[in-house]
Amino acid sequence: MLAEVRAGMAAAPPFRPEMPRTGKPFSVWMTNFGPLGWVSDRTGGYRYQPAHPVTGEPWPPIPEAILAVWREVARYRHDPEACLVNLYGPGARMGLHQDRDEETFDAPVVSISLGDRARFRLGGTERKDPTASFWLDSGDVLVLEGAARLAFHGIDRVVPDSSTLCPDLGRVNLTLRRVTRP
């Protein structure tokens, strides 16, 4: 799977998204596979689009090894349209947020973690709800469905050099999503 991710990254180089309005850069670098990819910049905000924001090329297809995980664990008839690749180098984190840029929340979200371990925080559907923290280790797969699909979540920190899988990349998270209604 990692070899397929590396091949995709060669075709669709990681870019650094920006916060809407402020233009503040994310600490996480990203790229995407599949017909639609998630991007964000100061003027356009959070959105899905069919092409890479820097190269203008279509995103590479979602690798088979990744699709196989979705088909095994997502209790959903259709394949995902977006595979967001999140790359966590030293000090990268992701603040508490909901995933709600998709047209449908009926499909689950499936997340695959590779490389360094991360402290993951999961709350409820309101920002004020209490949260619980878990470790996400290389090879861990999460399926978020039902009420959990709209739960607040984030990555507080990544433990450097805690995995030998891909020292050059640190932590890689693959998030599979359905964007449109089938």
- Binding of ligand MD3 by 99 (CB under 6 A): yes
Residue 148 in the binding site for ligand MD3 (CB under 6 A): yes
Q: Is 32 in the site for ligand MD3 (CB under 6 A)?
A: no
Closest distance between ligand MD3 and the C-beta of residue 148, in Å?
Answer: 6
Residues at the interface with Fe ion (CB under 5 A): 99
Nearer to Fe ion, 42 or 121 (CB): 121
Of residues 62, 144, 158, 179, which one binds ligand MD3 by CB under 6 A?
Answer: 144
| Contact flag: residue 138 with ligand MD3 (CB under 6 A) | no
Query: Looking at the chain, which runs of residues are DSSP E strands?
Result: 29-33, 37-41, 45-49, 82-88, 94-97, 109-115, 118-122, 132-136, 141-144, 153-158, 171-177
29's tokens: 């670098």
- Rounded-to-integer distance, Cα 152 and Cα 146, Å: 13
- Which of these segments, 14-22, 54-62, 149-157, 162-170, binds ligand MD3 (CB under 6 A)? 149-157
Look up tokens 């990681």; give the residue.
14
| Cα–Cα distance, 39 to 125 (Å, whole number) | 23
Q: Which of 86, 107, 176, 179 binds ligand MD3 (CB under 6 A)?
A: 86
**Which residues are paired to 176 by β-bridges?**
83, 110
Q: Which of 52, 117, 153, 178 binds ligand MD3 (CB under 6 A)?
A: 153
Q: List Cα–Cα distances, 80 to 43, 68, 109, 152, 167, in angstroms.
A: 27, 11, 9, 21, 28
Q: Is 163 in the site for ligand MD3 (CB under 6 A)?
A: no
Binding residues for Fe cation: 97, 99, 153
Interface residues with ligand MD3 (CB under 6 A) are 84, 86, 94, 99, 109, 111, 142, 144, 148-149, 151, 153, 155, 173, 175
